[in-house]
Amino acid sequence: MLAELRPGQSVELLKALHILTREGRLNQDSRRKLKQVYHLYQFIEPLLTELSQGGHAPLLADHGAGKSYLGFILYDLFFKALGRGDIYGIEWRADLVQRSRDLAQRLGFARMQFLDMSVADAAAAAQLPERFDIVTALHACDTATDDAIAFGLQKHARFMVLVPCCQAEVAACLRQTKALSLSRTPLAELWRHPIHTRELGSQITNVLRCLHLEASGYQVTVTELVGWEHSLKNELILARWTGQKKRSAQERLAAILREFGLEDALGARFGDMPAIS
């Protein structure tokens, strides 16, 4: 058995996900991919352990699931032995959804379901439960991360685990108002050059998301997913529901929107927040 694999890990699963070769070996790319998923598992496993106390069957929604690397690893390493709980993989590409369904059936992963829809459409989907314990979104591109947060709020998620990717929306807004901003404040130098516009746009987007979560009653931790040598999209946002909605977070969020001229573009998204019972 390869030293990199966790005890009890299904070799058949890793071969089906093309993380292992047919000969059961790891190449450089698959080793990097496996390290990312395992590292994220280290953050999620304690949450699942906490949620499964007292015989509770945890429900997890994985948004932008892609080939469902994360969902399959979570099921294989935790849900399978637990004997209860379900994972819902949500992915808009129908071919990937069907591939995941076929693999789950072949492996006997009966409590995995896969839905062919966008993150934004999932909140209104009748085939999904009214509540979820954990919402994950690994590299959900641009506004899909915001859709996952909105889903988590609507579904009363106790935890959200988010790795944002390719945030382009705020950068586009900054570009549109760049000339006006340069005449108004020297801080606009922070996004005068295109590469800085893109980087600052990503930074602002994630700061707004964290403030939104705090204002909605979550305790937020931000850390690295893996080392920067493995992925440039490396920011991991962990949110735990506490019920303590921070008025100061909402006030600062509104102030940032005003300062960067983002009220029209993003004001509605970060406006009223549903209560969590």
Q: What is the pLDDT of residue 196?
A: 92
Q: What is the pLDDT of residue 106?
A: 95
To the nearest whole number, what is the mean pLDDT of the chain? 88
- Residues of the chain with confidence (pLDDT) below 70: 1-3, 226-233, 271-277
Give tens-digit pLDDT for 15-41: 888 888 777 777 777 777 788 788 889
Q: What is the pLDDT of residue 52?
A: 97
**Does pTM surpass 0.95?**
no
Which CA distances in Å does 169 have to 145, 187, 195, 207?
12, 20, 14, 14
Q: What is the pLDDT of residue 28?
A: 77
Q: What is the pLDDT of residue 2?
A: 57
Three-state SS for 220?
strand
List the domain boundaries for the chain: 11-266
Which CA distances in Å does 59 have to 89, 109, 149, 188, 227?
11, 15, 16, 44, 29
Q: What is the pLDDT of residue 228?
A: 44
* Residue 100 burial (10 A CB sphere; 0-12, 13-18, 19+): buried
Residue 156 token pair: 């009363």
Q: What is the pLDDT of residue 230?
A: 44
**Superfamily of segment(s) 11-266:** Vaccinia Virus protein VP39 (3.40.50.150)
Give tens-digit pLDDT for 188-221: 888 889 899 999 999 999 999 999 999 999 999 9
**What's the rounded Cα separation, in Å, for the pair 169 and 152?**
21
Task: Give me the residues paired with residue 137 across strands.
Answer: 63, 162
